[in-house]
């Protein structure tokens, strides 16, 4: 259990690009990073409008001289300081991620980036090579992976509790964009514009979340080929999709589906992961993250609760309060951010063994998310046909 003990020798000096006042995601980054005293926010280029960003940075307690007009200025200025930033989080529209992440790595900074990491597999692999060359950590904020019962599910699969894995049913299908809300909401408007969002909307924005959870739970499964169909039910969003269904064949014979949608009218969030084995199935739903359904054939269904002593040890390590009290997304993000910090410290010390033992959504996860979207778009644009997973 986490009790506030130190995870790193000293807090990592940290800056943010984006995430300013009114940002949908900026506060959760800051709350997660600062929760366990593993990061300290010392600089920022928080807004595309410099004056607004500077004012908000001062409100956050950042030294006014370290509230910058843009990321390039921040990286250059901080590099000249003995106490300059060591890491940066990127919370900006998708089309900026690649350039900012590349510049950060070139300036010797660790990176935490919103997904998608970039637009193309070629760009993602370029970032991976640069991170490896500079020996820097890149984390991707698949925040739901910080929920402890995801670790329980992984252990249950690894220990054979489900038997042979047959089906992987994934969905992230909410209903909040079932109408053209982007007409009145700037925070949504860029997500449906290919210039800013890239080649997809819901595939990259929501579909990659349960996909990554499946990669955590089922690390040995590899996609062999897939087929994707996507639609724009709100016609003004075309060519970007607001609904998509992806079928996946895995090496070894397992089969998977992913439903990615923002037009599932009436659904609050609708992210579920169901793994079906030859002996039993399990299901996790992000609206009830403290419970994991476990269903053994010919036995009564049971609900596994967070924080209980019958869980496997990895599912207990990140608890922040005893069983019965609910934990949620802020705690899950904090669990990832402290892992990011430990990975950054291990990397800077050259401690390869410690680094290898820290599980978090890393540059490989970022590459795979972009790779999956690219293959889905290719299949859909060919008319919804099976394509080899390349």
What pLDDT is recorded for position 382? 98
Domain boundaries, given as residue ranges, for the chain: 12-143+357-362, 147-321+367-388
Nearest to 258 by CA among 118, 95, 375: 375
Count of other CB atoms within 10 angstroms of residue 204: 27
Residue 9 CA to residue 163 CA, distance in Å, equals 42
Residue 58 CA to residue 65 CA, distance in Å, equals 10
290-316 pLDDT, tens digit per residue, is 999 999 999 999 999 999 999 999 999
- Which listed CATH number (3.90.25.10, 3.30.2010.20, 2.40.50.90, 3.40.50.720) goes with 12-143+357-362? 3.40.50.720
The answer to whether the beta carbons of residues 172 and 209 sit under 8 Å apart is yes
85-105 pLDDT, tens digit per residue, is 999 999 999 999 999 999 999
What pLDDT is recorded for position 316? 97
Q: What rounded mean pLDDT belongs to the chain?
A: 97
Residue 186 has pLDDT above 90, yes or no: no
- For 291, the token pair is 């419970």
- For 91, the token pair is 């919370």
Residue 245 CA to residue 258 CA, distance in Å, equals 6
What pLDDT is recorded for position 328? 96
CATH number of the domain located at residue range(s) 147-321+367-388 in this protein:
3.30.360.10
Residue 379 has pLDDT above 90, yes or no: yes
What pLDDT is recorded for position 22? 87
Count of other CB atoms within 10 angstroms of residue 269: 15
């Amino acid at each position: 259990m986490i009790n506030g003990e130190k995870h790193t020798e000293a807090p990592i000096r940290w800056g943010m690009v984006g995430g300013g006042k009114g940002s949908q995601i900026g506060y959760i980054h800051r709350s997660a990073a600062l929760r366990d005293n593993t990061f300290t926010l010392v600089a920022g280029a928080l807004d595309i409008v410099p004056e607004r960003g500077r004012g908000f940075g001062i409100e956050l307690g950042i030294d006014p001289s370290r509230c910058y007009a843009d990321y390039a200025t921040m990286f250059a200025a901080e590099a000249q300081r003995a106490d300059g930033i060591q890491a940066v989080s990127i919370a900006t529209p998708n089309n900026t991620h690649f350039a900012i992440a590349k510049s950060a790595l070139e300036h010797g900074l660790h990176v935490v980036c919103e997904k998608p990491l970039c637009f193309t597999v070629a760009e993602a692999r370029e970032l991976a090579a640069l991170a490896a060359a500079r020996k820097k950590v890149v984390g991707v904020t698949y925040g739901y992976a910080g929920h402890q019962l995801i670790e329980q599910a992984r252990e249950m699969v690894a220990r054979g509790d489900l038997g042979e894995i047959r089906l992987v049913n994934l969905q992230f299908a909410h209903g909040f964009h079932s109408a053209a809300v982007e007409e009145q909401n700037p925070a949504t408007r860029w997500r449906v514009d290919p210039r800013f969002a890239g080649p997809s909307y819901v595939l990259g924005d929501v579909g990659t979340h349960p996909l990554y959870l499946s990669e955590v739970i089922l690390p040995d499964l590899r996609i062999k080929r897939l087929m994707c169909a996507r639609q724009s039910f709100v016609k003004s969003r075309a060519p970007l999709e607001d609904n998509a269904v992806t079928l996946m064949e895995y090496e070894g014979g397992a089969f998977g589906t992913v439903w990615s949608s923002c037009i599932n009218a009436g659904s609050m969030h609708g992210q579920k992961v169901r793994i079906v084995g030859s002996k039993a199935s399990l299901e996790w739903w992000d609206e009830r993250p403290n419970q994991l359904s476990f269903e053994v054939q010919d036995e009564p269904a049971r609900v596994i609760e967070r924080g209980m002593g019958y869980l496997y040890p990895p599912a207990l390590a990140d608890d922040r309060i005893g069983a019965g009290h609910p934990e949620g997304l802020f705690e899950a993000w904090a669990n990832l951010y402290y892992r990011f910090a430990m990975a950054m410290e291990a990397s800077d010390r050259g401690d390869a063994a410690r680094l290898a033992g820290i599980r978090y959504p890393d540059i490989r996860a970022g590459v795979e998310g972009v790779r999956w979207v690219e293959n889905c778009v290719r299949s859909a644009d060919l008319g919804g046909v099976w394509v080899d997973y390349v």
